[in-house]
Amino acid sequence: MGLTSKKVLLLAVVTALLLFALTVWLWPRFARRSAPSVLGRIGMLLATELAILAACGLAANTSFGFYSSWADLFGTDQHLGVVVEGGKGASKQLQVRGTRDERMRGGGNPKRAGRIEKVEINGESTGIAAPAYVYLPPQYFQPQYARTKFAAAVVLTGYPGTAENLIMMRPTVAPPRDTECVDVPGGPQAETFFTRDLRAAVTSHYRVGEQAHSWGVIGDSTGGYCAVKMTMRNPWAFSAAAGLSASYKAPKDPTTGDLFGGSRRAERENDLLWRLDNRPMPPVSVLLTSSKKGEGNYKDTQAFLAGAKPPLRVSSIILDSGGHNFNTWNREVPSALDWLSNRLSAP
């Protein structure tokens, strides 16, 4: 069972409750002052506390998506992706690993509820392979839309995150490193993967428009920074971006390392507030969200909104209060998706 499995969480909760009940039941038997009794009390308390901590940790991870697997948790997930070579026998750009019909009103009929497909994206130009989820709406399967090309939204969670949190991808394409969607000198070409390889893979397999006006990006936290940055830097690839609690520049810490090869110029080019003052405004639409209380990006968000000029078009969702968490983002996602869908168009 996986780390994010509901069965694992339920097992941890049940184990904690049973150990708590057992401790209460057996405590009178270990009330003596003898060494075995003292050790027994210590053992029961330790086992119960560890079980409670495990249950709380699993619940927090399920809610916030800190780690996606046991390998992710213990740091053994060092897989950097599969290098895709051209020529005979090359891997396909997109491979479907599984499907799931949505159990909504109308049952599991994809013509009425849509379908989620688990896929592997193989980047031809970057050599990066990353898992993703693709949601196909009901119209995709309906006969009257058989020749229709659809618009697409890339949905990114934060770092480290799990793709299931927001459904579709996480920005960590080279785990365990946090690449912040940067083309790292001598390292993973994350930005190129999202702007070129991902779009090429999806359009080669699905009926999706190829032009920028058919593509948008939405993400939270690190995913929000990636969404806004990639759209501003690559208006030929994406026409709209929604950044939920987005930061405005890449951090430098043990999870990122040196993302820019010591280049101050490259670092500035990935600083969104610097770009507003020093680069031409891109002809794209950007939605930013923050909270007056509880969010660390509120001041920078206000600075971005004040500094944006046409042809860059900006919108915002500013809550009175809300932390950097999924409870806050769940309050913003419906409006953000409406905003994004109104700014994308199919061919």
What confidence tens digit (pLDDT) does each residue in 74-114 have? 655 444 433 333 333 334 888 888 886 665 555 578 888 89
Q: How many Å apart are CA 64 and CA 181, to the nearest integer?
A: 20
Closest CA to 130 of 86, 52, 189, 88: 189
pTM: 0.74
Query: What is the average pLDDT across 313-334?
Result: 91
- Find out if CATH 3.40.50.1820 is the number for domain 80-341: yes
SS3 81: coil
Q: Any idea which of 81-95, 235-249, 261-275 has the lowest mean pLDDT?
A: 81-95
| pLDDT band per the 50, 70, 90 thresholds, residue 63 | low
| pLDDT band per the 50, 70, 90 thresholds, residue 323 | confident
Contacts of residues 222-225 at CB distance under 8 Å and 24 or more positions apart, as own/partner, are: 222/156, 222/158, 222/159, 222/161, 222/171, 222/178, 222/180, 222/247, 223/155, 223/156, 223/157, 223/158, 223/161, 223/166, 223/170, 223/171, 224/156, 224/158, 224/289, 225/180, 225/181, 225/249, 225/250, 225/272
What confidence tens digit (pLDDT) does each residue in 138-168 have? 999 999 999 999 999 999 986 655 544 446 6
